[in-house]
Structure 1
Amino acid sequence: MKLLRPVLWALTTAFVANAHSLPSPQHTCVIPALKDGRDDAPAIREAFSKCGNNGKVVFQKDTTYSVQTALQLHNLKNVQVDLFGTLEYSTDVRYWILHGSYYYFQNISIAMEFSGEDITIDGHGSGTIDGQGQVWYDLALGVGGLYGRPIPFCLRNVKNAVAKNFQIVQSGKWNFVMLESQNILVDNITLSSTSDDFQANPGNLGNTDGFDTINSNNITIQNSWANVGDDCVSFKPGSTNIHVKNLTCYNSAGIAIGSLGQYEGVRDVVENITAEDVSLYGSRNGAYIKTYVGKRTYWPPQGGGGGNGYVRNVVFKNFHIENITASPVLIQQCTHWAGYNVPACADTPPTGFFSNISWSNFTGYMNEKVGTKAISWTCSPLATCEGFSFKDIDVKSSTGANGTYSCTNVVGYNSACQKTN
C-alpha cells in the first residue's frame, strides 16, 4: 500500500509529459455559432469530422453555442479542443429522453461524449458547459434514476486525455463522467448544480454527482471545486488506480465508493484508490463506501441488489469537514432506492470483500442536527471487512464533544472500534 501513491504519480507524470509532447495540430477548425435559436450541434460535428484527427477545434470566446441534439464525437486522435465559449443545452425534455447516448449502468443518458485517443480539452478559464438542469430537477423531484436525464460531459472509451480549465453548470444529472477510459488527467474543473427549490425541497437535486468513474483506469482528478447535490466524487464499479487530490466540495454527499452490488450476479471491483487533501462543506458524509442489499429488489436504476465483488487498497487522508450531517468515516451496506416493501437488511445481507482501507487525519465538526458518530463501520455478516485502519479522526460535534465510534462485523475491532487480539 505504501507504494500506491508513487506508482500512480509516476504513471500520471509520464502520461502528462507524453500529452504535452504530441505533434502540433496540422489544421484548425473554428466553429461558427448561428446565434438565432437554431441548433449549433451540426456545425460542431462538422468541425470534429474535419479536424478531429491531428487537428484543433476551437469554440470561440464570448460565444454561446446552442446544443439541441446529442453530440457523439468519436474516433478522435491527437486533437486539441479549445473551449473558450459556452455550450448551452436545450430544455427539450422529450428529445433528450428519446435520443441521449445510452449506457447500461443505471440507464444513463449522455448529451455529449468524446471517444478516441490523445485528446486535450482546455477551457482556458472561460469555457462553460451549461446543462440548464433546473427543468430536470423539477421533473425528477428526487427520483435520481429518472430515465433520460442528460449527462453534459463524458469521456467514453478514451485513451490518454487531459481535461482542464473549464466549468460545468446546472447539469441535468451527473456532471463529469469517465467511462471505459484510461490515462486521464482532470485539472482545474469547476462544477456547480444548484436548484431554485433546494431550501424547500432539497431532494429534487438528487443524483447530480460531481465526478464519476466507471470501468476506468489510471485517472487523476486534481485542483478542482464542486457544489453539487450528490457525491462529489463517486468511484463506481470498475474504478482502478485513481488519485484525487486538492478538491473542495460544497453541499455534496461526500467522497464515495459505489454504489456496488446493484446488478444481480455481477462482480464489481474497485481498487487502488487514493483521495487526499479534500475539504467538504455542508456534506452529508465524509469518505464512505456503499453497497446494495444482497437480494435484488425491483430493477435498476432505482432498485437492484444481489451483486458481489471487492474493494481493496484504498486511502482516504487529509480531509477537512465542516457542518457534516452524517458520519465522516462510513461504510453503508444495504443501500436501496427502490421505495417501499424493501426487505430488511438482516434478511438480505450483501456479500463482498473489503480489505486494506484506511482513513487518516480527518478534522472538522458535525452539524448540530446530528449525533456525534465520527466512525460508523457497519459490515454485513456475509461480507468480509479486514485490514481496516483509522488514525487522527478529530471531527467533533457542534458542541465540541469528541465523536463516537461504532463498528459491526469488522475484523480486528469490537463494537466500539477498539482493536482486539
Structure 2
Amino acid sequence: MLSRFFTVAVVMAVQVIAGMTKNGTRCTVTPSGSNDDSGFIMDAFKQCGQNGQIDIVEGDYTIAKVMDVLNLKNCDISIRGKLTWTTDVNYWTKNSIGVTYSQRSTAFRLGGDNFSLRGYGKALFFGNGQTWYDVNKNGSNMAGRPISLTLWKAQNVFIDGITWRQPQFWHTFVAYSQNVTMTNLDMSAVSNSQWNTVNTDGFDSWNSKDITIKNWSVTCGDDCISIKGNSSNVYVKNVTCHESGAAVIGSLGNPTTVPDYVDNVLFEDFTAIHSSNAAWIKTYPGVGHVKNVTFRNFVFQDVNQPIYISPCIYSYRNCDASKLKISDITWENITGTSRYNVAAGIYCSKSTPCTGLKFKGIDIKPKNGGSAKVLCSNMNSDSGLGCTGTCPAGWVQQLSGNA
C-alpha cells in the first residue's frame, strides 16, 4: 500500500511541475513528456511576454505546432533545453507562417520591442531536417518548408548562445527589423543520405537595418551569411563558414521591377572551408543599388570561386540589362586557395558598370598549383585588381573545373 501511495504521489508531483508555471512576472516552462510542448511555451509568451521573464529549463521539448509571437515587449527569454520540431511534413507545409519574401514561411516567429533570447550555450534547436532534405530530393523552395527562426517587425533584440542542428530550411531570417544583435551562434545542416542540404542558409536579412552578427560557426548547404534587399548598416565579424556561400550580398533584384537597396555592410574576420564562394555579390537583372560594402580579412581553403559578381544570377541571361548599380565595394586582405584556377569572376552589367571597386592584399592561389585567373568585365580600371582577362557574360557561380 505504501509503495502504491508513493507511486501515485510521484506521478502527481510530475504533473504539477510539468508544463508551465507562473510566479509574478516570471513564467517557467518544463518538459511535459507529451507529444507537443508548444502550447506550454506559447502560454508562457502570452502571460509573461510583456514586461516579464520566460525560462524554458533544461530538458527535451517536442514542438508540433507553429509558434508565432509578435507582441513581445521588455521581455527576457532563456532557453536551456532541446527543442525538437516534428517530422509531420503535411502539417508544417499547410500551417507554416508566410513571411512574404519569395513565398517563404517559418515555424517560429518572434516580433516586438526590446527583448532577448539567450541560450547560454545549452539551447538546441533540432529541426529534424533530414526528413526535409529527403522529401525535397535536392529541390530548393518547397512551399511551406519552414525557416527555423524568424524575427519579424522586431526592434532592439539580442540573441545569444543557441545551437542549431538539422534545420528544416534556413536557420534564421530577419525581416522588417531594426537594431538586432546575434552573437555566439552555432549552426549545422548535414545530410546523411544521398540528398543534399539545399537552401539551408545560416542567416538572411531583408528590409532590415542596424544588425550586428558576431562569433558564428555555420555549416550549411547554401549561403552562410546573406544580406538581401533593403538592408543597411550591417556588421558581421568572426564567422566560420563550412560548405557554404560564406559572405554574400544577395540575391537582389527580384522581382526585376521592384528596387532593392543594400548600403553600409562590413564583413570582417571570416574563415571559409570548402565553400562555394567567399566574398561575393549576386543580383538579378533588376533595379536598385549595392553601395559601400567591405569584405575584410578573409582566410579560406578550397573555395570554388572566391570573389564573384553576377548581375544575372541563376538564369545567366539578360546580364547587360541590369540597372542594379554596384559601387564602392572593397575587398581587403583576401587570402586562400581556390578549388580551380579562377580566383575572381566579375561581370558587371554593360548598361550599369560597377564603379568604385577596390582591391587590397588579394592573395588567392589554386589548391592544385599554377596561376589563378582573374576575370573582369565592365568595372572601373583603377580597382587595384590585376585582371588577367575578361569575364564572359553569364559567368556561372559554380565552376566544375579549370577555366
TM-score (norm 2): 0.87
1:375 aligns with 2:344: yes
Aligned with residue 417 of structure 1, among 387, 391, 398: 387
Counterpart residue number, 2:50? 53
Counterpart residue number, 1:353? 325
Separation in 1, partners of 2:297, 2:83:
35
Counterpart residue number, 2:14? none
Counterpart residue number, 2:309? 331
1:407–1:416 CA contact under 8 A, matched in 2: no
Aligned with residue 242 of structure 1, among 215, 231, 234: 234
- How far residue 365 of structure 1 moved from its aligned partner, in angstroms, is 0.9
Instruction: Write the mapping of 1:268-283 to structure 2, written as runs, cut at 5 A.
Output: 268-283=260-275
Separation in 1, partners of 2:319, 2:291:
26
- How far residue 26 of structure 1 moved from its aligned partner, in angstroms, is 6.2
Counterpart residue number, 1:72? 68
Counterpart residue number, 1:91? 87
**Greater mean alpha carbon deviation, residues 250-259 or residues 268-277:** 250-259
1:43 aligns with 2:40: yes
- How far residue 413 of structure 1 moved from its aligned partner, in angstroms, is 5.5
- How far residue 416 of structure 1 moved from its aligned partner, in angstroms, is 5.8
Give, as a single letter, the amino acid of the residue that structure 2 aligns with 1:29.
Answer: C
Aligned with residue 144 of structure 1, among 140, 145, 159: 140
1:364 aligns with 2:328: no
Give, as a single letter, the amino acid of the residue that structure 2 aligns with 1:399.
Answer: N
- How far residue 417 of structure 1 moved from its aligned partner, in angstroms, is 2.8
Gaps of 5+ in 2: 1-22, 389-403
Separation in 1, partners of 2:87, 2:267:
35
- How far residue 194 of structure 1 moved from its aligned partner, in angstroms, is 0.7
1:224–1:347 distance in 2 versus 1, CA, 3 Å: closer
Aligned with residue 253 of structure 1, among 229, 245, 255: 245
Give, as a single letter, the amino acid of the residue that structure 1 aligns with 2:309.
Answer: I
What per-residue deviation string (whole Å, max 9, x for no partner) do you get for residues 110-150 of structure 1?
Answer: 10011101111110110011111111111112221111111
1:140–1:383 distance in 2 versus 1, CA, 3 Å: farther
1:365–1:398 CA contact under 8 A, matched in 2: yes
Give, as a single letter, the amino acid of the residue that structure 1 aligns with 2:151.
Answer: L
- How far residue 162 of structure 1 moved from its aligned partner, in angstroms, is 0.5
Instruction: Write the mapping of 1:283-362 to structure 2, written as runs, cut at 5 A.
Output: 283-292=275-284, 294=285, 307-325=286-304, 327-336=305-314, 345-346=317-318, 349-362=321-334
Separation in 2, partners of 1:379, 1:238:
20
- How far residue 348 of structure 1 moved from its aligned partner, in angstroms, is 6.7
1:386 aligns with 2:377: no
Aligned with residue 172 of structure 2, among 141, 159, 176: 176
Separation in 2, partners of 1:264, 1:391:
33
Separation in 2, partners of 1:117, 1:272:
24
The SS at the match of 2:45 is: helix
Q: What is the number of equivalent residue pairs in this alignment?
A: 366
1:374–1:393 CA contact under 8 A, matched in 2: no
Counterpart residue number, 1:161? 157
Structure possessing the higher radius of gyration over alpha carbons? 2
Counterpart residue number, 1:102? 98
Gaps of 5+ in 1: 1-24, 295-306, 337-341
1:394–1:402 CA contact under 8 A, matched in 2: no
Separation in 1, partners of 2:100, 2:114:
26
1:352–1:382 CA contact under 8 A, matched in 2: no
What per-residue deviation string (whole Å, max 9, x for no partner) do you get for residues 379-419 of structure 1?
Answer: 1212231000111111111134342211111122699638x
CA RMSD of aligned residues (A): 1.9
Separation in 1, partners of 2:298, 2:259:
30
The SS at the match of 1:196 is: coil
TM-score (norm 1): 0.83
Separation in 1, partners of 2:140, 2:349:
25
- How far residue 347 of structure 1 moved from its aligned partner, in angstroms, is 7.4
Separation in 2, partners of 1:148, 1:184:
26
Give, as a single letter, the amino acid of the residue that structure 2 aligns with 1:260.
Answer: L
Separation in 2, partners of 1:286, 1:280:
6
Separation in 2, partners of 1:363, 1:266:
36
- How far residue 346 of structure 1 moved from its aligned partner, in angstroms, is 4.7
1:395–1:402 CA contact under 8 A, matched in 2: no
Q: Structure 1 stretches (4+) deviating beyond 4 angstroms?
A: 413-416
